[in-house]
């Protein structure tokens, strides 16, 4: 894959994560049928810039397993009740836990970093720190073997 193609793929996937967070936010507020929300986002002109299949996988995967993900993340919330999560934080934690559990091809550091970057842009002032801590805790459980590998440094 050429460098430009690879960069385009990275940007399309990053955009898919951002759009998935927005769709999950919408789903939390409306509790509309996920397929209706999916159609709404697909019809938006912004959708041409995203990895549409990845967006769909995240959104449908999370909406189908949100209860399971809530149960899994609750111990990592530091005593904070799920009901008190900001909808953006909740959407990003769902996105992160979905990627950690369903996409072993995406390094856990990338999963965490992408969620943190979206939180910096869309979340409350310190939400990126909260997102980082919760996803790091979940990665210990979901990606223990990967976390145990030595970290490679450029050199």
Across 90-104, average pLDDT? 98
Determine the pLDDT at residue 1. Answer: 59
Examine the pLDDT at 41 and tell me if it is beyond 60.
yes
CA distance 134 to 25: 18
Determine the pLDDT at residue 155. Answer: 43
CA distance 23 to 37: 7
Q: Tell the residue number behind the tokens 């999950």, with chain if given.
A: 24
Determine the pLDDT at residue 57. Answer: 97
Determine the pLDDT at residue 51. Answer: 96
CA distance 9 to 85: 31
Across 108-128, average pLDDT? 96
Determine the pLDDT at residue 15. Answer: 96
Examine the pLDDT at 21 and tell me if it is beyond 90.
yes
Domain 3-143 has CATH 1.10.940.10: yes
Between 148 and 103, whose confidence is greater? 103
Query: Band of the pLDDT at 150, cuts 50, 70, 90?
Result: confident
Written as one string, the DSSP assignment of the chain is --HHHHHHHHHHHHHHHHHHHHHHHHHHHH---HHHHHHHHHTSGGGGGS-HHHHHHHHHHHHHHHHHHHHHHGGGGTT--GGGS-HHHHHHHHHHHHHHHH-TTS-HHHHHHHHHHHHHHHS-TTHHHHHHHHHHHHHHHHSHHHHHSPPP---
Determine the pLDDT at residue 147. Answer: 83
Across 5-19, average pLDDT? 94
Tokens standing for residue 43: 């019809």
Determine the pLDDT at residue 149. Answer: 83
Examine the pLDDT at 58 and tell me if it is beyond 70.
yes
Q: How many other C-beta atoms are found inside a 10 Å radius of the C-beta of residue 153?
A: 5
**Which pTM does this prediction carry?**
0.93
Query: Band of the pLDDT at 14, cuts 50, 70, 90?
Result: very high
Examine the pLDDT at 20 and tell me if it is beyond 60.
yes
């Amino acid at each position: 894959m050429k460098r430009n193609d690879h960069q385009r793929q990275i940007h399309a996937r990053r955009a898919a994560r951002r759009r998935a967070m927005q769709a999950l936010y919408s789903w939390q507020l409306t509790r509309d049928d996920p397929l209706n929300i999916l159609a709404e986002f697909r019809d938006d002109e912004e959708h041409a810039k995203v990895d549409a299949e990845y967006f769909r996988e995240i959104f449908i995967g999370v909406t189908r397993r949100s209860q399971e993900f809530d149960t899994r993340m609750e111990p990592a919330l530091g005593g904070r009740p799920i009901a008190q999560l900001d909808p953006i934080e909740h959407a990003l934690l769902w996105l992160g836990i979905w990627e950690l559990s369903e996409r072993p091809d995406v390094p856990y550091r990338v999963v965490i970093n992408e969620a943190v970057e979206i939180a910096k842009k869309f979340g409350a002032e310190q939400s990126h720190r909260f997102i980082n801590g919760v996803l790091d805790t979940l990665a210990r459980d979901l990606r223990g073997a990967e976390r145990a590998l030595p970290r490679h440094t450029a050199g």
